[in-house]
Structure 1
Amino acid sequence: MKHSTRILALAVAVLGFLGITTSGWAAWDLQDTVNRATKDVRHFKGRSDHTIPRSVLEHAKGIAYLRKQEEGFILGFSSGKGLVMAKTAHGWSGPAAMKSGGMSFGLEVGGETEQLLFILNTAEAVEHFAKGHKFKLGADLAMTAGPTSEQEIKHHKVAPVYVYTRKKGFWTAIALKESSVEPDRGTDKEYYGKAVTTREILERKVLPPAGAKELIRALEAPYRK
């Protein structure tokens, strides 16, 4: 009886996960994520104690921003929505939508939303996103917790991707577990008003829409001294 109850609970959890991720992966409002990313970029640039060093962003080839929701009991699940942008010779590209999802077994109680900022340090890192395929951060593309000061950069392990997270109002470096990400073409189509590829967006073959201008200004703005 107990065995049957456990199987039933597991089945319900799996179906719930599939239902949530299916609805979460339908086309969604990218502008809301763009606005949140703009606010967060201004936040870490506007602090006097910068935990994301200026030189890290200055030398970045691109960024990715992801809001992940983790919930569950016994069977945990995570789903995320976000964007990726590239720095080109003609300035920052517009945002390309991306999504993530995953499952884990173990004691999972409650839920938590996490904001993650990925600094793409190499052209190869940007290319992983530009291909427009699903891949795993941490497995297909190496990443590590980013340096939190200019002094630390001198002795910090270099990786294609640095990871930072915002918790309790402060940005800090984080060592993230593997996370699968993939493009969301349906959302990109709604945002740009036509079918576009991630590569077209990141290579600025499609100009950034008006709604992305504030985020680009935030990325280009100087740090607070």
Structure 2
Amino acid sequence: MHLYIAYKNYSSWSLRPWLAMKVAGIPFEETLLPFAHGDSLKQFSAQHVLPAQVPVLITDDLVIWDSLAILEYLAEGYPECQLWPESRALRALARSAAAEMHSGFSALRSQFPMNCRTEKAVEPSVAVAQDLQRLAQIWARFEQADKPAGPFLAGSFSNVDAMFAPVMWRVRNYGLKVSSAFDRWAQAMYDLPAMQEWLIAARAETWQMPAYER
């Protein structure tokens, strides 16, 4: 399998399947396409008749071009990795939260772009404060759920944690506040060896994107 991604410092969508595959121990090769510093992504999208977006997972003759679709494919192809919770009820909760992350939180995502290298305190807007409140509500729902022990949303690491992984960077690096439950989860995510591997690579990148450095 080959995963095509963008900048590790900035690409929140790339982080999601990359982290899930690393944590689950699923072997893959990766290629980074620095779309703002050349035409590699444009050429790649033309070759595969896709939008000029990443991540894209290619396995044999199959091309999967959406983060959540990639995570679903991995969960089906590697059931032993338990990328969704075993409990039907907990799995439904995790999928609901993952889908909300996929389509929601537009204020947080647009006003606080993922930047692994930055650390600054920024006052959230009203719209972002509402997104942060919604995060607290989701974390409270998982806290109240019947789930196995563990520091992640469904106990053990799963696809829902991968979907929210970029939010950890946004909240942590801009000094935002959600809840104590979120803080515990964020620390567990930050401490993952795979996340530290991503961070080391992000810090080593020399590309700069001014829109993400505001």
Structure with higher strand content? 1
Report the TM-score, using the length of structure 2 for normalisation: 0.26
Q: Is the helix fraction higher in 1 or 2?
A: 2
**Rg larger in structure:** 1
